[in-house]
Amino acid sequence: MMFLANPVRFLRLADTLLPWFRWGALLALALGLYFGLFASPPDYQQGDTVRIMYVHVPAATMGEGVFVFMAIASIVALVWKHPLADLAAKAAAPIGAGFTALALVTGSLWGEPMWGTWWVWDARLTSVLVQFFLYLGYMALWQAFEDPAKAAKASSILAIVGVINVPIIKFSVDWWNTLHQPSSIFRSGGPSIDASMLVPFFIMMIAYALYFGWIFLWRLKAEVLARRVQTRRLRMMEA
C-alpha cells in the first residue's frame, strides 16, 4: 500500500487500470440493462416493479460499501499517515452519496406501488437517510477548513465515527420488524430469489462496482493532480 504513496506511481497505475474499469463497467451495465429490462421475467407478486430491484439494491449496497471504504481509508490516513489515503476517501465520498441518494429515490419509486407509500420511518430507510446526511457532512467538512491537512484529519475522524451507521443499516431489517423486507439474497440459507432474477441482479452489482472503480480513479487522479498544482503554485510564489 505504501507502494502507492508515490503520486507518480499512483498516476501511472491509475492510467493503466482506467480502461479496464471503464470498459468493464460499460459492458456490465449494458448486459445488466439487457437482462434486467428484457431477458428476465416479471415477478409473480410484484410484476414489473421487481426490475427496480436491479438498480435499487446495487445502489444501496454500494452506498454502504463506499462508506466502509471511506472509513478504512480514513483509518489508514490517521494511523499510518499514508499520503494518498485521505484523498482516496475524499474522492470516494461524492460517489457514495450519489449511490445512497439513488437508493433512496429508487426505493421510494418501488415502495409506492408495492407498499402504498413513498416514505415510511422504518429502521432501514431512516438509517440510509442518516447515511446520506453523513456523506453530506463529510463533504462539507472538507470544504470548511482552509488548511487541507486539517480538513483531511477532521473528515477522517467523522468518517470513522459515522461508519457505525453501516452495520445498523445492515442489521436493521433483522432487528426491527417494520416495513422494509428482510434480506432475501445475502442470507445464511442462500438466496431465496429465482435464478432468472439473480442473473441481472449480480451483473448490475458488478457493473456498479466497476463503475465506482472507474469514477473513483478519475476523482482520485484529479485530487492528486490538484495537490501537484497547489505545490507548484506555492513554489512559484516563493521563487
Partner 1 sequence: MSLVLTLIKRDLVLALRHGGSAWLPLGFFVIVSTVFGFSIGPDTALLGRLAPGLIWVAALLAVLISLDRMFQGDFEDGTLDLLRLSPMPLGNVVMAKIAAHWLSTGLPLIVATPLLALELSLPAHAFPILFLSLIIGTPSFSLIGAIGAALTVSLRRGGLIIPLLILPLYIPILIFGVSAVDAVLAGMSPWPHIKLLGATFLMAAVLGPVAGTAALKMAAD
Partner 2 sequence: MAAFLAMGGYAAYVWPAYAITFIVLLGLGWTAYRAVKRQESALERLDAKVEEGRE
Residue 43: strand pairing partners: 47
**Which one of partner 1, partner 2, none interacts with residue 234, CB within 5 to 8 A by kind?**
none
Q: How many CA atoms lie within 13 Å of 206's alpha carbon, on the beta-carbon side?
A: 16
How many residues at the interface with partner 2, by CB under 8 A? 37
CA distances from 199 to 11, 54, 66, 102, 221 (A): 35, 10, 23, 21, 33
Candidates 8-16, 43-51, 111-119, 131-139; binding stretch for partner 1 (CB under 8 A) = 131-139
Residue for grid cell 489508514 = 76
> Which is closer to partner 1, CB of 164 or CB of 225?
164
> Which is closer to partner 1, CB of 39 or CB of 161?
161
| Contact pattern from residue 71 through residue 110 relative to partner 2, giving x for each residue in contact according to CB under 8 A and a dash for the rest | -----------------------xx--x--xx--xx--xx
* Site membership for partner 2, residue 113 (CB under 8 A): yes
**Which one of partner 2, partner 1, none interacts with residue 157, CB within 5 to 8 A by kind?**
partner 1
Dihedral sign computed on CA atoms, order 64, 65, 69, 75: positive
> Which is closer to partner 1, CB of 103 or CB of 204?
103
| Cell numbers representing residue 125 in the block | 430507510
* Site membership for partner 2, residue 41 (CB under 8 A): no
Dihedral sign computed on CA atoms, order 32, 28, 127, 95: negative
* Site membership for partner 2, residue 42 (CB under 8 A): yes
